[in-house]
Structure 1
């Protein structure tokens, strides 16, 4: 376990993102997770240097904890968990500024060879070879 905080990005809930109940539409939670994932990949340098390989979302799951309403400001965290196979996890929490956990998102991703349209082996190694900042990507990195 690490004492470091995961990467985070701040988002303000906009009126047009609300559903008929007046709270954030369920699909927008997924969008917020995607914003955090892309911001993390960009900040870590993982979007450059991969050549003809790109990250691809394979599965996503959201647990809704508290409603979000127009004007709420949230921090969306993102932290990578590498394993030994072709896939890796990216976990995000959507947290109100007062510390209230609004949602938890767990995603499974892989790195896809864009010509072969197949997942490549060792995503961690691919990120490392591309010069990505592994310590920014993952709090589990020493």
Structure 2
């Protein structure tokens, strides 16, 4: 069985990312996840015979904060992998890692296939599902 598609980004931390306690603001975690999701989807868009370029909307975010992230950590690695591919949705699994590999946060997001014309959920195509599952 093939491993699910995955992307890993190293992202530098900025002063503006920190809160008054000196650690990464909770809202910034969501920006990091968004950046990693976008990188994964761009990577997947180039696979397949028809250049899979489908539109998705964010339906759910679940995130557990496990360890503080401080500016002096310098960077974090953000991983995102395809967890589950449903009929109309995709569940992605995320981790935010400190430079030493400590998991600072972990969770998942659900993306729903979006039909721009009908303004509603759409069924994922067979090719799209194959690309998302790595088969």
Q: TM-score range by the shorter chain?
A: 0.7 to 0.9
The answer as to 2:34 corresponding to 1:65 is no
- Alignment-derived partner of residue 92 in structure 2: 90
Q: Is the 8 A contact 2:92 2:108 kept in 1?
A: yes
Task: Please report the TM-score for the alignment, with normalisation by the length of structure 2.
Answer: 0.83
Q: Which consecutive unaligned segments of at least 5 residues does structure 1 have? A: none
- TM-score, normalization by structure 1: 0.79
Aligned residues of 1:78 and 1:93 also touching (Cα < 8 A): yes
1:22 corresponds to which residue?
Answer: 22
Report whether the alignment pairs 1:55 with 2:56: yes
Q: Is the 8 A contact 2:44 2:52 kept in 1?
A: no
Q: Runs of 4 or more off by more than 6 Å in structure 1?
A: 1-5
CA RMSD of aligned residues (A): 2.6
Aligned residues: 131
Question: Unaligned regions of 5+ residues in structure 2, if any?
Answer: none
